[in-house]
Structure 1
Amino acid sequence: MKSILFTVASLLAFSAANAQTWAVDKAHSGVGFTVTHNLLSEVDGKFKTFDATITSAKPDLSDATFAFSADVNSISTDNERRDGHLKSPDFFDAAKFPTLTFKSTSFKKVDGKKYTLVGDLTMHGVTKPVTLAVVMNGPVTAKGMGGKEQEKAGFKVTGTLKRSDFGVGTIPVVVVSDEIELKVTGEFTKQ
């Protein structure tokens, strides 16, 4: 039994030692969201400043772990007044909670290019588990800037969360929906 445990421990250590990091290409990525206003229309927003990495020991990224952060002060809905209100204590309270983060706990293949991503989202000082749908394209070898070949992968992440679960905004749901649709796209390059 000791030799089996030793072998499993050795494999895990070898896998961790061989893990590769993939960095986000911010020029080809985005972090967006949509809310419903007055039960009538959709309003889109985004975080302009963000960072993300993927770590994986397997070439097909099937064991990937994702880490993400966004600067709440970079929120943009193309309306300065609304953006200021979203940064205020009425919503995100960016002065007190300037960053939102996500750290994955599992990444499982559903079918073909479709995966389920589960992780802990921390927003407004509250951490809750969230489940997101992912479509992964790649990884592929492609020429980057300057003609250098690089390994790249693309991700489209979608999901819905409730702002009330994170204590974001006390404004009635007839004015701003409780449900927030997430739309995240990312292109990553193996480092």
Structure 2
Amino acid sequence: MKTLHVLAAAKAASVLLIAGPAIAATAPAAPQPPAGSYAIDKAHTSVTFRVVHLGFSHYTARFSKIDGKLRFDPAAPATMAVEATIDPTSLELNTPPAGFHDELMGKNWFNAAAFPAIAYRSTKVEVTGPNTARVTGDFTLHGVTKPVVLEVTYNGGYPPNSFDPGGARIGFSAHGVFKRSAFGMGAGVPAPGSTMGVSDEVEVAIETEFSGGKPAAKK
């Protein structure tokens, strides 16, 4: 009897292995978020950056006040466009020494009094894969604007619904690198051949969600 059960189970497994792809192929596609204008979800967005400190570690910090909008079209991703702004005074540091935050907001670094916003406006989107793109944009930091490239991954989304008060939702991850000296922030850059200071190269990591449209009416 035990042998019969084992044979039956093996036969059932083989049927599932054969039929599985066919079943998956005929399964209905998940509803997709619609094209349109989306606003950044500030509660689900983070911008962190890393710089090499003395050659000993990758010092990491983040900004907490970010705003932005996205023109989204899943049928024509190359036409999509994004704009974002960051309040530099929202810089968050791990247990900074007394006065260190104020120093970073001063003239040698962010000079937040003169330049109260960091901004990014996309100018080109190159599709690189089913869910990836290379986005070029005008990045403004410390009063200087230069192009910066972001490698972006689309993490998915859903259309307006009855359970999300924001309506439709989409999410992205992005990564980019730039040299801060190109934006007039050369303070503390190590001398050639040395690591004594803070690296010129800055790595940026972005995790963000956007929402748009009205939630579906509850039935």
State the TM-score, normalizing by the size of structure 1: 0.82
Structure 2 contact 45–66 (Cα < 8 Å) conserved: no
- CA shift in 2, pair 1:147/1:111, >3 Å: closer
Corresponding residue for 1:127?
145
Superposed CA offset, 1:141-177 (max 9, x none): 3757x55583211110101110001011421333101
Asked whether 1:154 is paired with 2:164, we answer no
Letter in 2 for 1:137: N
Choose the corresponding residue for 2:121, options 85, 103, 110: 103
Superposed CA offset, 1:67-94 (max 9, x none): 0000111111223443222111121111
What pairs up with 1:42-191 in 2 under 5 angstroms? 42-56=58-72, 58-60=73-75, 62=77, 63-81=79-97, 82-141=100-159, 143=161, 146=163, 150-173=167-190, 174-191=196-213
Q: Is the strand fraction higher in 1 or 2?
A: 1
Letter in 1 for 2:95: N
Local SS of the residue matching 2:159: strand
Listed as ranges, the gaps of 5+ residues in structure 2 are 1-34, 191-195, 214-219
Corresponding residue for 2:20?
none
Local SS of the residue matching 1:84: helix
The structure having more radius of gyration, on CA atoms, is: 2
Corresponding residue for 2:39?
23
- CA shift in 2, pair 1:141/1:36, >3 Å: same
Q: 2-side partners of 1:127 and 1:149: how far apart? A: 33
1:129 Cα deviation after fit:
0.6
- CA shift in 2, pair 1:147/1:155, >3 Å: closer
1:140 Cα deviation after fit:
2.1
Listed as ranges, the gaps of 5+ residues in structure 1 are 1-18
1:190 Cα deviation after fit:
1.8
1:60 Cα deviation after fit:
4.2
- CA shift in 2, pair 1:140/1:85, >3 Å: same
- List structure 1 segments (4+ residues) > 4 angstroms apart after TM superposition: 146-149
Superposed CA offset, 1:22-78 (max 9, x none): 01111111011111101111111111111011013x344612100000011111122
